[in-house]
Amino acid sequence: MVKNLSEHHSLVSNWVSEIRNIEVQNDRLRFRRNLERIAEVAAYEISKQLASTEKTIATPMGQAKVSVLKEQPVLGTILRAGIAMHNGLLNYFDKADNAFLTAYRKHHADGSFEISLEYMSCPNIEGRVVILSDPMLATGASLVKAIEHLRTEGNFKELHIVCAIACTIGIDLVRKEEPNVHIWCGDIDKELTNKGYIVPGLGDAGDLAYGTKVQQ
């Protein structure tokens, strides 16, 4: 399942337009907050699909039967670019366990690159719902490698991916590797450059959120 949130939420479309806009991108706080907001909407939509259970609670005036999440998901993110979206998910799934991975492109002199993953901190994910966030789903290579590493910690029951901008090429690769994945996108583009960047996209989400870095 792939869901373009901009087609269903006018506010998401507005936030996506701002993170794409070069006149707005200089405001890092606004950029991070918009990523966070997109993830919050995704969290709300994902919550509709998660199992719930009924419990009785005490109120000052008596007792009430309420519906609550049956189990907490695991929120995973790709550092560093995914931090803002991870915070948005955590705002809604505030009791969730968390996983962090460092998957990034290691560039070579000939212009090619490989995906390097040097760190992972992860709870037990066996039989659990995992929600993995990364602002840009471009080639899909980083997410596929991250998913492979997550599986070394257990076989999750269900996988959701949350991103701000996705490319159809990356979506196809992820779905090929994980046919049952649920992908939630702020918007979807159809083109990649020969260096693997989304067009029109928005540029480098990590740099826009947290500042430029020395290229690896």
Residue 183 CB partners (closer than 8 Å, separation 6+): 1, 2, 3, 137, 160, 161, 163, 166, 171, 174, 175
Kindly state whether residue 60 falls inside one of the protein's structural domains: no
Kindly state whether residue 55 falls inside one of the protein's structural domains: no
What separation, in Å, do the N-terminal and C-terminal C-alpha atoms of the chain show? 34
Total count of domains within the chain: 1
Kindly state whether residue 87 falls inside one of the protein's structural domains: yes
Range of the domain at 87: 2-50+70-210
Kindly state whether residue 190 falls inside one of the protein's structural domains: yes
The pTM of this model reads 0.91
**Percent over 90 (pLDDT), the chain:** 79
How far from 185 is each of 4, 109, 139, 167, 193, CA to CA, in Å? Answer: 5, 32, 15, 10, 20
- CATH number of the domain enclosing 118: 3.40.50.2020
pLDDT in tens, 104-130: 666 556 666 666 777 888 999 999 999
What residues of the chain score a pLDDT lower than 70? 104-115, 215-216
Contact (Cβ atoms closer than 8 angstroms) between residue 127 and residue 151: no
pLDDT score recorded for residue 119: 81
Kindly state whether residue 75 falls inside one of the protein's structural domains: yes
Kindly state whether residue 97 falls inside one of the protein's structural domains: yes
Report which of 41, 35, 32 is spatially closest to residue 165, judged by C-alpha positions.
Answer: 35
pLDDT score recorded for residue 80: 87
Kindly state whether residue 44 falls inside one of the protein's structural domains: yes
Kindly state whether residue 64 falls inside one of the protein's structural domains: no
pLDDT in tens, 19-53: 999 999 999 999 999 999 999 999 999 999 999 99
Neighbours of 194 (CB within 10 A): 6
